[in-house]
Structure 1
Amino acid sequence: MKAFSSPLAIARFALALTCASPLIAPVAGARTDPAQQARLEARFDELAEAGFTGFAAIARAGEIIFARGAGFADPATRRPFTLDTQVDVLSITKSFTGMAIASLIDAGRLSPDATLADFFPDVPDDKAAITVQQLLTHTAGLPDAVGDDFSDEGWDSVRDKAFAAELLHAPGSAYRYSNVGFTLLAAIIERVTGRTYEDYLVNDLLVPAGIEHTGYQSVYDNGLAARNSHGEPVIDASWGGHDPNWNLMGNGGLVSTPRDMLAWEHAYRNATIVSPAARDMAHAPLVREGEGAPSFYGYGLVVEDDPLVGRIYWHNGGNRSFNSHWRVLADQGYELFATTNQRAVSADSAIEALVAALMGQDFELRRPLEASIDPVALPETAGGDIAAGFLAMIASDDEAVWRDYVLNRMSDDLRAFAPIEGHLDMMRQLHRDFGNAAIVAVFESENEIRLGLRDPLSGEVIPVVIEYTGDGLVNGLLLG
């Protein structure tokens, strides 16, 4: 049921301070429904009580109908979150890159069939035929990353690493989420336009549409930026204390505001920021996100069809400090954005909860477990054995151990959620981020065990849910 899909596989951290701020009144003339508003307010109260700190906003047909913050954008000064707090949108950057590429294709300046060899004479033979379309849809076979988001690394170094990296599958043969592919797309934008990626995105596409606080260093305002639980603003917590480097360019690290994000969603969907042809090109469901997955990837965004709400477009992103999520319910006319600087209740959970409130659907919010100061033991139960096996697997740095776990400990449904290489990529990330985390909370119910893991770097508690079948196979994994 739940698994680590590519955009959702993100690290986010908990912030203890919570303080719900008042509801921001809908704009004059916005189409609101009193019962719906009551549901949204009640649901947001639940989120804040459970530990959500951040901001969530909803518009319909471009008019804001709900906007509310909880906790503090700056815990030290108790500065609240607002519609104009600048936040890291993380991998949502890919949605902006996809839009920019679609605009260039629509203008006849770029072809989706253009190859890396058309732009980079030094590209090695195994990557020369990779196309723009394959980069856009995560089918190029490139690895997820070739460097550190926090390093001060220029284009030449990142290019050399990307070109030297071993392909994980033949280009075009499978879906595999890759930040590297979108970095190459940013470089292609620069070669086609003769300008920087940020300059073209901001000044040709965003500012003309009235979206003026979205970009990298050119728009960044340290006084408006959200901070993580350690008080670090985006420039430190996401960029490493300097301008964003080429491991981030085009794939992550853009800053924006909730107000800008809602305006961008509306303008993009209604083809006022790019042409209808460019929009339709980018929003097409082109590649399924793994065998049996309910979602497809377009140009830097996810496309789904939900039986209850219809067509959905979305993307999310996260790092060890921040998490953001945009979502458009196209058939219903709603645009949503949520962002957070903590881990206990993620922006993904906030969006899920608020969509249910919008549509009048039942929803049960998973609340963080009460954590112990000292490590706790796993129970001697079936769930305890399942959890012990999972923790032993992510503690290992042996890919053979991860592969064995996927093949022999996961149910057929969960294993089919992604190709084997996608599962291995996730195990690699779990090992790197949480392999040495101590267990500080355990809660067990029928066919499910919930853990609180204390991150070894930050000391924050990461919630983990493991669902399993009667015969002991893992049927669902959820972090956050």
Structure 2
Amino acid sequence: MKAFSSPLAIARLALAVTLASPLIAPFAGAQTDPAQQARIEARFDELAEAGFTGFAAIAHDGEIILARGAGLADPATGRPFTLDTQFDIGSITKSFTGMAIAALVDAGRLAPDATLADFFPDVPADKAAITVHQLLTHTAGLPDAVGDDFSDEGWASVRDKAFAAELHHAPGSAYRYSNVGFTVLAAIIEIVTGQTYEDYLVEEILVPAGIEHTGYMAVYDDALAARNRQGEAVIDASWGGHAPNWNLMGNGGLVSTPRDMLAWQAAYRNGTIVSPQARDLAHAPLVREGDGAPSFYGYGLVVEDDAELGRIYWHNGGNPSFNSHWRVLADQGYELFATTNQRGISADTAIEALVAALMDQEFEVQHPRQASVDPVALPDTAGGGTAAEFLAMIASDDEAVWRDYVLTRMSDEMRAVAPMDGHLGMMRQLHRDVGQSDVVAVFENETTITLSVRDPHSGETIPVMIEYDADGQVTGLMIG
């Protein structure tokens, strides 16, 4: 990943070495080119050796051609990762919410131009005209969050804070990623269906399609759940030790398994889990993710067109304990899913590496290097100066400093991959995660400098790679 491909791409990573668990055999009848199979197997080995722990799976035309885990889902018991391990899939939850809304629209039960005033008599005037379509496409102007994922808040409390929040822009005038918008959509689903968000999603859409381990508490199974590096299961590490609260509802925190995710992707793409009309509505490239961005947002998913790969659908999501990424290469017939419980090699990196292996493209998996226990000085070089500027920027909590960095230090191509709000959201995340980190190792070549920084929260080391050109402009940034 040479740059943050969208404001959704949140890389939270560290370095560790684990051994891969045994290969889970592909489904009977799966066909793939032997050379291609060898490449994806070898690439997974590289990921595992570099520190990936979790699970990665690929299906081609509905048949699994790769299904492998690395590390342990539960170190305390020695339980390995499998196709049936439950992970927190984070913001991928939005893809399920978008699908559910599209199904209701297709059934004539909900209109995309329905407004908040149609559902909530107490909505303030500045938000009354916000539409379902704007909520789905992150164009409503609502903030990213109004509360804590670990809290125990109900809908009424979250609603009051969301309705009181200042809009970032006039509804429909710009793209700005918002978890709150999808929480409001979950509440609208409950009003329209008379069921809880989870009951409608699970009972009406997923279970009838044979997808039985995706949901919240209704499907959560502690015996299947992955643990984070501290040994905490999803219920503790992602939900705060109780059922998910309304700061997560509809926008994050769903659990799923690799088997379910592949089945869901295939059924969704084939128009069997919801109607082809609902699928096409959700998969349409509706709103560009910022001026000049190569990606668009549909209903809860990202849509891109690649010159070599064709049409791509994807979403990712994560928190400090888990991160996941699903991707469909629609014109190639591939579904991919990767999920991890660590910060060394992210699911985003794993997917990029595996796609490159599938298509016989070059990709170098960054291997862990021995880092010093003590902080080290940055070199007196062009790369050292570039790194110093970057570290000073993320150490600041001043949004004006982040904005100036984007405008003056990033190349035109780097700025174009996301709207300014997306860049600022990433800087905010970096500030929280590694803003006060010590540099413990530095590796440099002519146009790239890679730092190992020590996460002050977990003690893990996190690789930060910065690419720059002859003018000192940042042309690529990869965390992990």
Q: What TM-score results when the alignment is normalised by the length of structure 1?
A: 0.97
How far apart, CA to CA, are the structure 2 residues paired with 1:368 and 1:164?
46
How far apart, CA to CA, are the structure 2 residues paired with 1:185 and 1:286?
17
The residue type paired with residue 469 of structure 2 is T
The residue type paired with residue 303 of structure 1 is V
Displacement of 1:4: 6.1
Partner of 2:10 in structure 1?
9
After superposition, the C-alpha distances for 1:171-200 in whole angstroms (9 at most, x for unaligned) are 111111111111111111011011100000
Partner of 1:139 in structure 2?
139
How far apart, CA to CA, are the structure 2 residues paired with 1:381 and 1:259?
48
How far apart, CA to CA, are the structure 1 residues paired with 2:476 and 2:357?
24
1:465–1:17 distance in 2 versus 1, CA, 3 Å: closer
How far apart, CA to CA, are the structure 2 residues paired with 1:369 and 1:289?
35
Partner of 1:397 in structure 2?
397
Partner of 1:192 in structure 2?
192
Displacement of 1:78: 2.1
How far apart, CA to CA, are the structure 2 residues paired with 1:329 and 1:421?
28
Displacement of 1:17: 5.5
CA contact (8 A) 2:289 2:419 kept: no
Equivalent residues, number: 479
Alignment of 1:174-185 (within 5 A): 174-185=174-185
- Give runs of ≥4 in structure 1 deviating > 6 Å: none
CA contact (8 A) 2:324 2:347 kept: yes
1:294–1:228 distance in 2 versus 1, CA, 3 Å: same
Displacement of 1:355: 1.2
How far apart, CA to CA, are the structure 1 residues paired with 2:452 and 2:63?
39
Displacement of 1:35: 1.7
1:78 and 2:83 are equivalent in the alignment:
no
Partner of 1:422 in structure 2?
422
The residue type paired with residue 212 of structure 1 is E
How far apart, CA to CA, are the structure 1 residues paired with 2:43 and 2:236?
32
Partner of 2:152 in structure 1?
152
CA contact (8 A) 1:455 1:462 kept: yes
Displacement of 1:231: 0.4
How far apart, CA to CA, are the structure 1 residues paired with 2:302 and 2:169?
22
The residue type paired with residue 396 of structure 1 is S
Partner of 1:469 in structure 2?
469
After superposition, the C-alpha distances for 1:201-239 in whole angstroms (9 at most, x for unaligned) are 000000000000000011001111001110011111111
The residue type paired with residue 174 of structure 2 is A
How far apart, CA to CA, are the structure 2 residues paired with 1:292 and 1:180?
25
The residue type paired with residue 181 of structure 1 is G
The residue type paired with residue 395 of structure 1 is A
How far apart, CA to CA, are the structure 1 residues paired with 2:333 and 2:5?
28
How far apart, CA to CA, are the structure 1 residues paired with 2:231 and 2:358?
33
Deviates more, 1:458-467 or 1:251-260: 458-467
How far apart, CA to CA, are the structure 1 residues paired with 2:357 and 2:403?
39
Partner of 1:109 in structure 2?
109
How far apart, CA to CA, are the structure 1 residues paired with 2:475 and 2:17?
34
Partner of 1:99 in structure 2?
99
Structure 2 unaligned regions, length at least 5: none
Aligned-pair RMSD on alpha carbons?
A: 1.4
Structure 1 unaligned regions, length at least 5: none
After superposition, the C-alpha distances for 1:403-442 in whole angstroms (9 at most, x for unaligned) are 2222222222222333323322222222222211111221
Partner of 2:249 in structure 1?
249
SS at match of 2:317: strand
How far apart, CA to CA, are the structure 2 residues paired with 1:103 and 1:87?
25
Partner of 2:276 in structure 1?
276
Displacement of 1:468: 1.4
CA contact (8 A) 1:15 1:53 kept: no
Deviates more, 1:383-392 or 1:354-363: 354-363
The residue type paired with residue 5 of structure 1 is S
CA contact (8 A) 1:13 1:321 kept: no
Displacement of 1:389: 1.1
1:170 and 2:146 are equivalent in the alignment:
no
After superposition, the C-alpha distances for 1:232-266 in whole angstroms (9 at most, x for unaligned) are 11111111111111111101100000000000001
Identity of aligned residues (%): 80
How far apart, CA to CA, are the structure 1 residues paired with 2:207 and 2:132?
26
CA contact (8 A) 2:17 2:50 kept: no
